[in-house]
Structure 1
């Protein structure tokens, strides 16, 4: 069940990544060297609002999943969670508007251009709809109804990507961007002629490029919100009680600090790059970050399923404590092993072919982000293999330990950003500043976090959870990379299918090396084939979507 649910989530997130990557590729090809600057403005605004996004979470999403998976009253949990979310959304809106006023009127500072402040307001709306949609998504995840949660989440990239492509096809008229080190107004004729009756729309989009792009994101979040609440319509909602409010706050309180640090550090790098450098660098960094983030869909799919599974095992009252720990440890180890096994080939591919991937997916103007791309991909791998242990600790009711780890890693990340991102940063003489400095900072902080997760997981379970098998995966990945690089010296990689052929050759090498190490066996092959069995997969989806939700009375 864990494997199949994880695979469903991976398929959904892969589809989401493909839609997003398709839109990004089309924008990059149509806008050429202007793309980093315009998309940088968009992603700076998104990151600016994102630094406040912890307010709408504060650990209550995790708490809701925990309490519902433990079998608490569904209606009361829903009422409690909705009430808390609405209050937090109100605080988010007040905080963002207050910070803009402080920046403009007290600090007497401005924004990139005349449209950027408006873009920030649009992304505030995006965050509100996304936070509301998370009410339903967290509820589905708590009950392992992952098909519903993924259908809801998939609406965002589908709608957003379609609208982004439409905006890109409209061309650009009068947009203020940084290009070639200078700020200038640009005009870019649409690549294709629009039908006569659509010319007014094309003109409007071309003259409001940045704002229209931001609205595409807003409408994507709105579509996700609508789908999520449509699927949630049959779930009971009862008036929150004092006991449930207290229960939610008691569990969420230790998680608040780590949630704050997690979401701030996820966005502060883009904000600092924009502050110390320009929108162009934000565009470079955010673009390759989105490509490397495809690896994170593996960690997300594992975490969504593993957390309620561990919580449910830990909540069993009729099971011996030692047996509980054995089962939980096995879930964590198996999740880490398969996550590493699946992720390493992608990691090897990106490290070896970072430049051709950037040229093919984006365009050559994004090449300054090559080193960042490689470092962010390594970060994504380290993050992925740490996810099972994050949920092991929280699932066994040890949120304070998680808080300590995340706070330590978060402080390290913020300090390193200040030291490495500025023009005259600590390592600038070695070429590590700006986007490369940001990538080094986030990689160093996630390594600190992984060490902390293993330390506390070992203490809580009384078992040594580190697996030497992970090192075998790395060795196989190195061999795979060397084989792909060796073959690539005889061909020029200019098309996506060149990369595809090299990847499958490398993948065969990777599996062969693991087979020699006896790390990939027939049982593993059967596991993957069963997980990806389309007949069983569709049967599982049909069952979840066709049944009315059942709740304990």
Structure 2
């Protein structure tokens, strides 16, 4: 498995996916306004949070066992058999509580929520099967397909007058297309599920479910709590800020997806030294985009929200700065998380997740009531820092973590130089249009790139990676 090529494919696909997401979020936010698009964001939040229960960590367990080289049809059959129970529980709960669900969302969407959870689980299972078969790079086109389908279908239905339901229907179609694409790339082969394989999957899943819950809580719990205590306009503005911050993590998440199957295979063969050598390199590349994005936010956050989305979204400008700092922590933490899972220690990651998850929920309730959107961002960032710190401690008990202080420090220095240039431009130029904003971003990006290439160590890392891509 060529990690560089897999990461590059995933990065390219996620960049394209992010572009579709950016265009869609910008267009739909302007067309619907913060309140209406807030309904859709709450719908998505419930889909993701309910999927934690519907999956119970089983998809990750299927990927892990397949990556170990075991009999794939037996694993798939055992995993799907185990998934039926939690998925049925979620379906029954949504139907019984449909009145409360509709009231919370602000629209009659409970039946569609049930369909969405089922389609979401099937789409993600098709992706996890490909990753488990060491074909992570092939999932790239499916991720683009899903997002492009959402954008095009949503825009068409919005023009036909479907309102916020246009985005919901488009989401369902996107999930369905990803499922069909996954089935085409890897037609399912099933076998009689064995009790031993079901136990093996369940043993991994019981810890992995906690970790998955933690990931979704970081991504969606703050939004769900904002929906409880604040307005749907606040939900819309905060989620727009969150999605902007996600663009900076495209590379780090792509690397994380690509390195997990290979690290898992190395752990199975006892090649711990290869895992140790990969960790610092993965950290550097994970931080490559997210550090400059964070440093630029204090200068550009309000302009980005105002120019691209509208004045009503600028209430989330301070939250956007804090959320971008959380993405720096998460980018570094992604490598640690994947390494812990790869060495088959999901129980340790689960311990870290439980503590930080509870912290996240409590802090979100307290700080949202006290400080609004900024409080939600601060709560999520503190919880992410706690989680990453604990995982670093646990991983260091099994492998040597050589943190790349010099390289990350140089990225930070380059980012500060970039921010100084941007601040200077803004002091003499007022940003009122997309063209002006894009120009400032391009100048900042060019400045950052120039400073990064001044470092011989970073030049060597980048050149080596390019050579591997071309090999």
TM-score, normalising length from structure 2? Answer: 0.93
**CA distance in structure 2 between the partners assigned to 1:112 and 1:8 by the alignment:** 36
Q: Does 1:277 align with 2:230?
A: yes
Deviations 1:329-368 (A, max 9, x none): 1111110011112322333333421122112321222111
Cα deviation code 1:230-265 (max 9, x no counterpart): 2222x4221111110011111222223232333234
Structural RMSD (CA): 2.2
Q: Is the 8 A contact 1:12 1:150 kept in 2?
A: yes
Q: Does 1:148 align with 2:146?
A: no
Cα contact 1:350–1:357 (8 A) shared by 2: no
Q: 1:99 to 1:300 in 2, by over 3 A?
A: farther
CA distance in 1, matches of 2:318, 2:469: 34
Residue of structure 2 equivalent to 1:482:
420
**Is 1:129 aligned to residue 119 of structure 2?**
yes
Out of 219, 228, 245, the residue aligned to residue 198 of structure 2 is 245
| 2:63 corresponds to | 65
Quote the offset at 1:112 in angstroms: 5.7
Deviation at 1:414, TM superposition (A): 0.6
Q: How far off its partner does 1:444 sit?
A: 0.8
Q: Deviation of residue 17 (structure 1)?
A: 1.3
Q: Does 1:162 align with 2:152?
A: yes
Deviation at 1:16, TM superposition (A): 1.1
1:40 maps to what in 2? 38
Displacement of 1:397: 1.6
1: distance between equivalents of 2:46 and 2:139? 27
**Partner residue, 1:327:** 274
Unaligned runs of 5+ in 1: 171-201, 426-432, 537-553
Q: What do residues 291-342 of structure 1 show as CA deviations (whole Å, max 9, x unaligned)? A: 11112322321121111111000101xx5xxxx2221111111100111123
Residue 227 in structure 1 maps to residue 217 in structure 2: no
Task: Give the C-alpha shift of residue 370 in structure 1.
Answer: 0.5
Q: Which moved more, 1:82-91 or 1:65-74?
A: 82-91
Mapped partners of 2:352, 2:86: distance in 1:
25
Is 1:119–2:73 an aligned residue pair? no
How far does the alpha carbon of each residue in 1:139-165 deviate from its partner, in whole angstroms, 9 at most, with x for none? 111123134322223222111111222
For residues 266-295 of structure 1, the C-alpha deviation after alignment (integer angstroms, 9 at most, x for no partner) is 322112111111111001111111111112
Whole-angstrom distance in 2 between the partners of 1:16 and 1:331? 26
Q: 1:486 to 1:94 in 2, by over 3 A?
A: same
The answer (yes or no) to whether the contact 1:270–1:282 under 8 Å persists in 2 is yes
Moved more, 387-396 or 118-127: 118-127
Q: Is the 8 A contact 1:57 1:259 kept in 2?
A: no
Structure 1 residue aligned with 2:429, among 466, 491, 494?
491
Alignment of 1:133-532 (within 5 A): 133-168=123-158, 170=159, 202=160, 205=161, 208-233=162-187, 235-316=188-269, 324-422=271-369, 425=370, 433-465=371-403, 467-521=405-459, 523-527=460-464, 529-530=466-467
Please state whether the residue corresponding to 1:296 is helix, strand or coil: helix
Instruction: Give the SS at the match of 2:109.
Output: helix
Deviations 1:441-470 (A, max 9, x none): 111111111211221121221455463432
Judging changes above 3 Å, is the alpha-carbon distance between structure 1 residues 167 and 530 closer, same or farther for their aligned structure 2 residues?
A: farther
Write the distance in 1 (CA, Å) between the matches of 2:105 and 2:281: 47
CA distance in 1, matches of 2:243, 2:468: 26
SS in 2 for 1:461: coil
Q: Which of these two proteins has the greater Rg computed from alpha carbons?
A: 1
Q: From the two aligned structures, give the one with the greater helix fraction.
A: 2
User: Are 1:94 and 2:95 an aligned pair?
Assistant: no
The 2-side partners of 1:315 and 1:349 are apart by 42
> Is the alpha carbon distance of 1:471 and 1:71 closer, same or farther for their aligned partners in structure 2, counting shifts above 3 Å?
same
Q: How does 1:23-38 map to 2 (within 5 A)?
A: 23-31=24-32, 35-38=33-36
Aligned to 1:85: 83
Distance 1:501 1:472, change over 3 A: same
**Cα deviation digits, residues 357-408 of structure 1 (max 9, x gap):** 1123212221111111111122122101111111111111211110111111
Q: Runs of 5+ in structure 2 lacking a partner?
A: none
For residue 192 of structure 1, what is the aligned residue in structure 2? none
